[in-house]
Amino acid sequence: MDTSFSGKPSADWPASRFLALLGIWTGFDPERPISLSDVAPHVEAVNTLLNLSPASPARFVRALGDVPATPVPFAFQGPPGRVRAAVLGLNPGGAASRILKEKNATRDLPPPAYARFYTTARYLPHALSGPYYRNLGTLLLSMDRGRLVKFSEWCRSQHHPDRAAAFAALAAAGGVLEMRLVPFYSRTWQPAGLSRLLVHPRYGRYYIEMVDMVDDVLERDGWLIANGRDPAAVLPRLLAPRAPLVPAGENDPGAPFAFYRWKDRRVVLLRQFLRSRGGRLNSDRDLGELFAGVEAAFRA
């Protein structure tokens, strides 16, 4: 399998890119499932690098019971030849029961099949058991329309009783690439020390190659989105060495969102995690203001 990053997407995108990024965070044999011994040294190295104590709820985990908590650098849905939206988030998450079910479904897969699990519709029933992808559906629908369109209401209007089928249909109109700042699992997120990962001789490659991937596969007028305070702070730092970010419209530094263009791509920085409880991107009114801002910033 070709895992190089040169040129445009290869015929086996996205699995080849998934494996290349996965290999930065864990050792693995392509012929056998990823084991705890493959994952553990890197999880502990990252915990040490970020000064996460054994008692910290933000500490990244090696396993869920006896099931290895194998890393996930990104998930992808849609036709491989078209990537309409790329989203940078924190790390894989969700309820422990959901993650355990997901890891049980992948624990016996060799790495190529593991990569295909997270880059095909096989992953969606697991992902859509939590609210994150439903909120992502709302985000994708609303940005293209310039107004709030709730994913649940769209599902009903399109007569999609099954949420996974509905998201797959949405992604079929333009692929969705969902990337993680750190591909390991934890109970909570603690960003202190993240800058040390960005410049680390090994793990720092992940961020460079992630931007290379986005530049290769994202459509020229596609959406590049940072979801949350830390992704919104890191994404400009990752993009700037390749090309400048150009402000789109008036960006209020006190607002929970900001808009830019990067190589003709539309960049949306959400400085708070979408739909976080008590946050400023939670209510329908908040989201209405966000999507009205998107429409004003990127109107032709």
pLDDT at position 250 is 85
Give the pairing type, strands 83-89 and 218-227: parallel
Please tell me the distance from the alpha carbon of residue 60 to that of residue 36, in angstroms, as a whole number: 13
More confident residue, 129 or 233: 233
First-to-last alpha carbon distance for the chain, in angstroms, is: 41
pTM reported for the whole predicted model: 0.93
pLDDT greater than 50 at residue 8: no
pLDDT tens, residue by residue, 95-114: 888 899 999 999 999 999 99
The secondary structure of 138-205 as a DSSP string is HHHHHHHHTS---HHHHHHHTT--SHHHHHHHHHHTSEEEEEESS-S--SS---TTHHHHHT-TTTHH
Nearest-10 crossing angle of helices 132-145, 284-298: 40
User: Which of 71, 24, 42, 27 is CA-nearest to residue 208?
Assistant: 24
3-state helix, strand, coil in the chain (%, to 5): 40, 15, 45
pLDDT at position 11 is 53
User: Which of 298, 231, 188 is CA-nearest to residue 88?
Assistant: 231
| Region 65-80 average pLDDT | 94
Name the percent of the chain lying above pLDDT 90: 76
Average pLDDT, the chain: 91
pLDDT tens, residue by residue, 214-234: 999 999 999 999 999 999 999
